[in-house]
Amino acid sequence: MSDIREKAAWSAEKLDQDAASENFTKRLRRLRRTQGLRALVREARVSVDDLILPLFVTDGVGVSEEVTSMPGVFRESVDIVSARVERAVAAGIRAVLLFGIPDAKDAGGSASYDPEGAVQRSLGMLKDRFPDLVLVADTCLCEYTDHGHCGLLDERADVDNDATLEVLARIAVSQAEAGADLVAPSGMIDRQVGAVRAALDDAGYQRVGIMAYSAKYASVFYGPFRDAAHGAPTFGDRRGHQMDPANAGEALREARQDLEEGADLIMVKPALAYLDVVRRMSDAFEGVPLVAYNVSGEYAMVKAAAAAGWLAEQRVVMEMLTAMKRAGADLIITYHALDVARWLRDGD
Ligand code: PBG
């Protein structure tokens, strides 16, 4: 046996002996005894700096509709959303992610790049009122098309990848013009990051970054979001372009491709059932900001269980978000963001 292997075998044996001895267990427990000690040795923690609050903005004035399957989440017109953002900023939130829900949808999703669209108007208003707030805009067609798919359809009613790229580029430029700091192409359209990067650069928006939905799974956990966005596909589903929940290695390929195309941040979505993917992405792309999206279905489950008195909401949310950080997420998009910011501020 080589020296090194002998040494390794020795320390493994020594550890086993230690573990068996009472001393070893006591040594671990000693550091769990008080809140102060636990805080001192804690490995992962959620900070308000990590949180991104998603918002649903809609046309009209004075509109505020609670999403049935997401208690506490609202579709709001620009005037109303401003008050919510004011509360978020007061609680320390640094970033919001905007989704638009237009009154009128069409086959080409034309409201998505309308300079007077709800997202564009919100971006302008928020940039003026909260110049330090990071504004992220969702760059996708599904909330804007009457058929509910994430792209233009070809004559076989399949998403036409390359025609869709042109529209995504147009949406991203309109969002950059309106004041977005980051755009987030979320449709899993092939080469969307490259197309958006090129269009932003051509239009003079080199400073606007891309948050790429690199590993977006074809997940049932998006159900409540589709309720919020009135955006379920009217036929078929998204399994043709979103990832198969059974695959993890493929997520690394998706992220690598997005980074090559110019992504500034990468994402795993949903979060909870995919923490192994978060861990692998974090290991594989050290130094690249990694976002976990705690999606609508995850939120709805917690809210329903809490309303029934079956789970303690604050503790379960903090446990979930801490697990995302432990798995390697740097940032978390979550509908709980405002509550979490307040809990962190007020202590527990
Ligand atoms: C697509 C998009 C979706 C979500 C975010 N962006 C819906 C989908 O792909 O069906 C889901 C987010 C959530 O469930 O919270 N623009």
Q: Which CATH superfamily is 46-346 part of?
A: Aldolase class I (3.20.20.70)
- Domain boundaries of the chain, sorted by first residue: 46-346
Q: Given this model, what pLDDT does residue 167 score?
A: 93
For ligand 1, whether the C-beta of 175 sits within 6 Å is no
Evaluate whether 56 touches 67 at the Cβ level (below 8 Å): yes
Any idea of the CA torsion for 123, 127, 133, 138, to the nearest 10 degrees?
20
**Residues 102/104/106/112 CA torsion (nearest 10 deg):** -30
What is the rounded CA–CA span in Å between residue 212 and residue 267? 6
> Residue 6: what are its φ and ψ, rounded to 5°?
-65, -45
pLDDT at 1: 47
Q: Which residue has a Cα nearest atom 14 of ligand 1?
A: 222
Q: Whose CA is nearest to atom 7 of ligand 1?
A: 222
- 88 Cβ neighbours under 8 A, 6+ residues apart: 53, 96, 337, 338, 341
The series of mean pLDDT values per 10 residues for the chain, 348 residues long, is: 61 66 69 93 96 97 96 96 97 97 90 94 98 97 88 86 92 98 92 96 98 95 89 74 93 96 98 98 98 98 98 98 98 98 89
Closest Cα to atom 11, ligand 1: which residue?
222
What CA–CA distance (Å, rounded) separates 283 from 266? 13
**Comparing C-alpha atoms, which of 50, 93, 102, 77 is closest to residue 85?**
93
pLDDT at 252: 97
Task: Determine whether 216 is an active site residue.
Answer: yes
- Please identify which of the residues 7, 26, 127, 269 carries the catalytic annotation: 269
Residue 302 in tokens? 């917690």
Helix, strand or coil, per DSSP, at residue 282 = helix
Q: How far is CA 245 from the centre of its chain?
A: 17
DSSP letter at 153?
B
For 248, left (φ over 0), alpha (ψ -120 to 50), or beta?
Answer: alpha
